[in-house]
Amino acid sequence: MRRNNGTLNGQLARVISELGHTDLLAVTDAGLPVPAGVERVDLAVRENLPRFLDLLDAVLAEVAVEGVLMSAEIKEHSPDMLAEIEARFPDVAVRFVPHTEFKRATGGARAAVRSGEFTPYANVLLTAGVVY
């Protein structure tokens, strides 16, 4: 068993370890379709378990992020969730695109990590940065 407080899920730990600079990683709600060819790390257990923000925090504890892409629809449909997400990226510009474009962009992700979140548009596409 791992000694540190890192990711316990083996598949997610491997995906995070394999990320390189500019690789894309999607962290998603329960409903976002994962394109064929994108590895799915499905952590959803039931409605809102795990919560999107808890999963995002776990990923951000281990991944340097230099870019964030989100669906523009979150501004209207889930403004409280948007505020929580943006608070986690004080030094990173968050870009917004229409949801159909966001879904297309996830096709370039190394993996999509699925939460059990039922809040509409609670999805981010992270661009991995570097720690040096």
The partner residues of 70 in beta bridges, in order of sequence, read 96
Token duo for residue 76: 């209207």
Of 9, 14, 21, 75, which residue is the catalytic one?
Answer: 21
Q: Is 48 labeled as ligand-binding?
A: no
> What number of other Cβ atoms are within 10 A of residue 121's Cβ?
22
Q: Is 87 labeled as ligand-binding?
A: no
Q: Is 99 labeled as ligand-binding?
A: yes
Is 21 in the active site? yes
Phi-psi region of 82 (alpha: psi -120 to 50; beta: other; left: phi over 0): alpha
Q: Binding site residues, as ranges?
A: 29, 99, 121-123
* Residues annotated catalytic, as ranges: 21
Q: Would you list which residues are annotated within the binding site for substrate? A: 29, 99, 121-123
